Amino acid sequence: MQIEQVNSTLREIFNDLINDGHKKSHICSVTLGSSNVPQFDSFIKGNDFGIKPIQRIIENRKFDFKILIVPKNEKEISNFVDKVNNESFEVIKMEMLKILENENSIRNATIPNTGIVAELASSLYEQIIK
């Protein structure tokens, strides 16, 4: 599977979820993180992700992202890799659907974990519980 096919498959998954009524911002939060909405919007409109964002999306869903270099005429290996990738994308889509249908998961995904907002929120939380 080439990088263009990976981008196309991810875009199709995201568009299916959006068409099913899930918010783009929620999908972005559970894939790239809540601070990457402009990048996500650009992707939905047709700009492809590079390897780093794809790796983050795949690894956030508890899969390993591996690059495999195959001789051009190795159809058997290419077919096997495509099959494994397609099965993995199906699992990723089902996992994302479960997360998007769970309000607590959405809330946790949309809360920033780093940066000044996260530090301030953590500090306020600590003061409140004292």
The pLDDT score that the predictor gives to residue 110 is 62
CA distance 115 to 14: 27
On average, the pLDDT of the chain sits at: 86
Residue extents of the structural domains in the chain: 3-129
The pLDDT score that the predictor gives to residue 34 is 79
Cβ-proximal residues to 126 (8 Å cutoff; 6+ apart), any chain = none
User: Each residue of 18-73: pLDDT tens digit?
Assistant: 999 999 989 998 888 878 889 999 999 999 999 999 999 999 899 999 999 999 99
CA distance 99 to 116: 26
Taking alpha carbons only, the member of 47, 43, 22 closest to residue 110 is 22
Mean pLDDT of 97-114: 73
The pLDDT score that the predictor gives to residue 32 is 87
Mean pLDDT of 71-88: 94
The pLDDT score that the predictor gives to residue 74 is 92
Of the given ranges (1-5, 97-101, 113-117, 122-126), which has the lowest mean pLDDT? 113-117
The pLDDT score that the predictor gives to residue 109 is 62
